[in-house]
Structure 1
Amino acid sequence: MVPSLRKAFNGQFSKEKYQQFLNCLQQDLKEEIAFRVAETPVFFPQDFKEKLIKAGDDILKTLLAPNFKELTDRAIPTKWKVANETKHPHFIALDFAVCKDEQGEIVPKLIELQGFPSLFGFQSFLADCYQNSFDFPKDLSIYFSGLNKESYIELLKRTIIGPNKPEEVVLMDVDAHHQKTFVDFFITQKLIGIPIVALEDLKQEGKKLYYISGGQKTYIKRIYNRLIFDEIDTDPKIFDKVVDIRQDLDVEWITHPEWFYRISKFTMPFLQGKFIPQTWFLNELPSIPTDLENYVLKPLFSFAGQGVIIDVKEADIKAITDPENWILQQKVKYEPIVQAPDGGVKCEVRILYLWPEEDVKPTLAINLTRLSRGKMIGVRYNQDFDWVGGTVSFFG
């Protein structure tokens, strides 16, 4: 994307430097990071950064509209409705494929979106390790909105902790210490000082929640929620064993679990803009396109790419018995813009917003980037390749 930076980086790359970089990431960790981290960051020019910002602004017009909750009420499964929904999400993640348009320009195209936190701690640390392990200009930044590392961490604290004491805010997930994203939990704990508490370790006293640490009972005022209900959906008796977090409790959600469903694939048909592929709810499809090879079929209520049909046939559409729970989306063609030593690699950029409770609107803060050679972005599709995996983009 920035040819001079790419040439210089590839020229200095070695397996020894990559190992030095991995050692930087692994410092203080007892176990290896549970996902692959790519050999390289991505270098984008300022004009592509501006396109990402414009694409995000177009999407926010819908997400911040007064009727957005009304539009998305159907997105929330009845069994996963949770009391005390917040007035707005505290995190927004927008995933863009890096593509070429008809004029040959590199542009972002929306793939998916989430009202859920991502690797907000890890990405900042990841950038530091790239900069410490490889030689490239130090004035390049992974941040947006005029943020630097210090102001970014302050924004992160203001979003997650707010006016509370760090020990009163818990980072919560099911089996939290054994999640693939635990490295992010650990780094977040180091950055802002909040404890990591598993769902199964929450205790209830009336409407209050608390946890025990070192024999001390601490009441919880906020939950930094990292729990995705899909991960406990296979156990119908889960809330016979742990606190039923769906009930009316004296706790603030950062962010409330229902935003995971509201801002999701479900939102795609409502969006408009030059960086957004045409998408329909399957039950509202005017007619089956004759060029189905240019579309992808996605179930609304699935996680991590499960159930997606890439090579769509008319029979696939006709076989679906609940078309209101599926979307047909124009296929996006990734451009292999990152030059590895042995060829081009596809790229996806996730831009991440933070929205403190008291702010009027979200702040575009940081990015997460993934590289792929497989048919889809994601670990399971890239297990046998190098120069793929999680990374971060630096902007000139």
Structure 2
Amino acid sequence: MIKPIRDVYNANFSEEKYDAFLKDINGTYNYHVPFKIAETPVFLSKALKEKLIEACDDIMSVINKSNFKELTDGAFFDANTIVPNEDEQSKFIQLDFGICKDEKGDLTPKLIELQGFPSLYYFQELLGRKYIKHFGNVIPEGFSQHLNGMTADDYLVLLKQEIVGDTNPKQVVLLEIEPEKQATAVDFYATAKELGIKVLCITDLKKRGKILYYLDENKSEVEVSKIYNRIIFDELHQRTDLKTEFSFQDEVDVEWIGHPNWFYRISKYTMPLLKGDYVPKSYYLDQLKEIPSDLENYVLKPLYSFAGAGVEIHVTKKMIDGLSNKSNYLMQEKVAYAPVIETMDVPAKCEIRMMMLHNSKTNKTEIVSNLMRLSKGEMVGVKYNKDKTWVGGSTGFFEN
């Protein structure tokens, strides 16, 4: 997106460097990353960075409202999904923006989705480090994955502070469903290595009264004090085969990092509550008094879906009329991604996730890192980008 830097990067790129970069990532934890990692990071100008910060501030002004919980109580599609002992702030917030062009032709972010749930906080740091290691000669001085002068070391210290704190790391678990089978398993291994915590399948979590524990390698009981939850509820609800002693609705003596209820509160359900230059028009489908006549300018999204499943980008009135559960859907104005990343063939579009964290010491939610997705398909996602190059997961380096 910054032409002189992009030209230098592309001119110095080679498949040999890229193969060495991937081999290094896969060898770090002796684990082959199953998703596509892009051939390039993204370089973001100071002007675009400022717009992204402003967009995040606009959205956080709504999330920080005193009545936000009241506004999002309808996000729980079933009372049985509510988890006890909810805290006051979401520990993790992810804001996904498509990079578009405004009426003047300037780059601007538009919100696609948001979630109150952690993603690849440790893998993204690893990814940025490996881009610098293998392509550092063409990554300019004065560009960083992090904002506000935060260094990579500062970032890792902050994550440790918020996930482990003063707790014995053995008593902190990263909870997932069959973690070794998840596409994001590399992040679990990175997290466990950095923090010394246990990566645990929910089926291995045991319960006695209000106490949760697991058995370590010596078959000794280890009481769980904190749960860094990585379970996506859409998947959990589909896995009726799982035999567990623990239910999320149980009253247990643990601290959630972060609390599962924010998965629902900060989600697609939040979109219609947001307004502004950086947010597309969004409506609860069952509350629409009139279906828009220009449906070609809208997408239809299930409020509850896993990894983008069920999103309809070619919406028709017949499709809407055929839905029996309109309360489960969102109508959202289409966002026109701009193909702004010059590659070896056609330009790529990009989406940036601004990764935020609530700092318990400052009591503020801060932008701490980012995740980029590059795409040449109709949508961002693996099935739309098969057999394409210079697409996939990446990270952004911001101009300071």
Q: TM-score, normalised by structure 2?
A: 0.96
The answer for the alignment partner of 2:237 in structure 1 is: 233
Alignment of 1:1-396 (within 5 A): 1-78=1-78, 79-134=80-135, 135=137, 136-215=139-218, 216-236=220-240, 238=242, 240-396=243-399
Shift, 1:237, TM fit? 5.9
Shift of 1:322: 2.4
Q: Secondary structure at the match of 1:123?
A: helix
What are the Cα deviations for residues 91-135 of structure 1, in whole angstroms up to 9, with x where unaligned?
A: 000000000011100000000000000100000110110011012
Q: Deviations over 1:201-235 (max 9, x none)?
A: 11112211111112132111100000112112123
Structure 2 distance, partners of 1:352, 1:106, is 20
More displaced, 364-373 or 145-154?
A: 145-154
Structure 1 CA distance for aligned equivalents of residues 41 and 63 of structure 2: 30
**Inter-partner Cα distance in structure 1 for 2:190 and 2:324:** 44
AA of the residue aligned to 1:343: V
In 2: Cα distance, 1:231 partner to 1:289 partner: 32
Is the deviation greater in 345-354 or in 70-79? Answer: 70-79
Compute the displacement of 1:87 (Å): 1.6
One-letter amino acid of the structure 2 residue matched with residue 218 of structure 1: V
Shift of 1:59: 0.3
Secondary structure of 2:117's aligned partner? coil
Q: CA RMSD in A?
A: 1.4
* Distance in structure 1 (CA, Å) of the matches to 2:312 and 2:47: 33
> Following the alignment from structure 2 to structure 1, what is the Cα–Cα distance between the partners of residues 62 and 221?
43
Give distance in 2, aligned partners of 1:245 and 1:329. Answer: 31
In structure 2, C-alpha distance between the alignment counterparts of 1:169 and 1:138, rounded to whole Å:
37
- TM-score between both structures, scaled by the size of structure 1: 0.97
Note the residue ranges of structure 2 that are not aligned, 5 or more in a row.
none
C-alpha deviation, 1:246, in angstroms = 2.1
Counterpart Cα distance in 1 of 2:77 and 2:119: 22
Question: Separation in 2 of the partners of 1:261 and 1:383?
Answer: 31
Distance 2:24 2:44 in 1: 24
SS at match of 1:309: coil
Deviation at 1:358, TM superposition (A): 5.0
Once the two structures are TM-superposed, the CA of residue 154 in structure 1 deviates from its matched residue by 1.2
Does the C-alpha gap of structure 1 residues 359 and 221 become closer, same or farther in structure 2, counting only changes over 3 Å? farther
Following the alignment from structure 1 to structure 2, what is the Cα–Cα distance between the partners of residues 102 and 244? 50
| 1:23-75 residue CA offsets vs partner (Å, 9 max, x unmatched) | 22112333310111000000111110110000000000111111111111111
Mean alpha-carbon deviation: is it higher for 150-159 or for 267-276?
A: 150-159
* Counterparts of 1:360 and 1:235, CA distance in 2: 36
Cα offsets for 1:324-377 (capped at 9, x unmatched)? 221111100000110011021010000011114454221110000000111111
Distance 2:388 2:216 in 1: 42
State the secondary structure of the residue aligned to 1:6.
Answer: helix
Shift in Å at residue 286 of structure 1?
A: 3.6
Contact 2:76/2:264 (8 A) holds in 1: yes
Kindly provide the CA deviation profile for residues 155-188 of structure 1, in whole angstroms up to 9, marking residues without a partner as x. 1111111221212111110111221111001111
SS state of the match for residue 373, structure 2? strand
Q: What is the deviation of 1:139?
A: 3.0
Q: CA deviation at 1:284?
A: 2.1
Residue identity in the other structure for 1:389: G
Q: Which amino acid aligns with 1:12?
A: N
Write the letter of the residue equivalent to 2:62.
T
2:353 touches 2:372 (CA, 8 Å); kept in 1?
yes
Report the CA distance shift for 1:321/1:168 in structure 2 as closer, same or farther (over 3 A): same
Equivalent pair of 1:169/1:221 in contact (CA under 8 Å): yes
In structure 2, how many angstroms separate the alpha carbons of the residues matched to 1:54 and 1:357? Answer: 22
Which whole-Å CA distance do the structure 2 matches of 1:328 and 1:338 have between them? 29
Q: 1:356 & 1:218 partners in 2: Cα distance?
A: 28
Contact 1:162/1:356 (CA < 8 Å) preserved in 2? no
CA, structure 1 residues 287+77, in 2 after alignment: closer, same or farther (shift >3 Å)? closer
Q: Percent identity?
A: 45
